[in-house]
């Protein structure tokens, strides 16, 4: 029980350096557990770090598994988060120190208005990979793709997918 309570206490810390000190000095934590928690903190730092945000992008495309979706087309909504270090751009106020939102928008537009895909998972994956391939500064990307007009019984804002990809996923 002592280990469980200690892990909960460590996990709630906001200051990573304090957590690392506690981890380093904790004799009862196994090596594997320490490594797991270090990796978790690195992941959290990336997830909660600087990012470019694109919300509410709207496109008309012909994606879907049903023949009528591919024939008639439909509206798609997209949200994108792209993690990268924005400190230099914040200091210099130069566009050259960041990635322009418009280039990411153009990638999403090209994918959504381009060749049809059966699944939204494939559409989101293509946006994520193209974004990181074209912009080496981007460390990770989250892409949401939704269909606002779906054949379900009941009101919905949209149904869709959300994926999260890291740069390390490109080589896998």
The DSSP string of 93-149 is: --GGGS--HHHHHHHHHHHHTSS--S-HHHHHHHHHHHHHHH-TT--EEEEEEEESS
| Residue from 131, 133, 55, 137 nearest 96 by CA | 137
Task: Count helices and strands (H / E) in the chain.
Answer: 7, 4
* Percent residues over pLDDT 90 in the chain: 64
Active site residues: 147
∠ CA 148-152-156 to the nearest 5 degrees? 45
Note the pLDDT tens digit of each residue in 21-36: 455 555 555 666 666 6
Residue spans in the chain of domains classed CATH 3.30.1130.10: 51-170
Task: Please give the pLDDT value at position 4.
Answer: 45
d(Cα 40, Cα 36) in Å, to the nearest integer? 6
The pTM of the full predicted model, rounded to 2 decimals, is 0.73
> Which residue(s) pair with 49 in the sheet?
none
The two structure tokens encoding residue 102 = 């418009």
What CATH number belongs to 51-170? Answer: 3.30.1130.10
**C-alpha span between 80 and 102 (Å, rounded):** 12
What is the per-residue pLDDT for 151? 82
Say yes or no to pLDDT of 142 above 70. yes
Through-space distance between the first and last CA atoms of the chain, rounded to whole angstroms = 38
């Amino acid at each position: 029980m002592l280990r469980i309570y200690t892990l909960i206490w460590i996990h709630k810390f906001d200051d990573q350096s304090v957590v690392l000190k506690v981890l380093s000095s904790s004799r009862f934590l196994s090596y594997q557990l320490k490594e797991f928690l270090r990796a978790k903190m690195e992941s959290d730092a990336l997830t909660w770090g600087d990012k470019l945000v694109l919300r509410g992008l709207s496109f008309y495309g012909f994606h879907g598994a049903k023949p009528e979706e591919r024939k008639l087309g439909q509206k798609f909504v997209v949200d994108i988060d792209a993690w990268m270090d924005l400190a230099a751009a914040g200091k210099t106020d130069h566009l050259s120190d960041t990635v322009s939102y418009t280039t990411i928008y153009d990638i999403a537009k090209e994918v959504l208005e381009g060749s049809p895909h059966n699944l939204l998972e494939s559409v989101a994956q293509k946006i994520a990979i193209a974004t990181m391939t074209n912009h080496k500064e981007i460390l990770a990307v989250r892409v949401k793709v939704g269909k606002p007009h779906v054949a379900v019984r009941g009101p919905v804002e949209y149904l869709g997918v959300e994926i999260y990809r890291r740069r390390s996923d490109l080589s896998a």
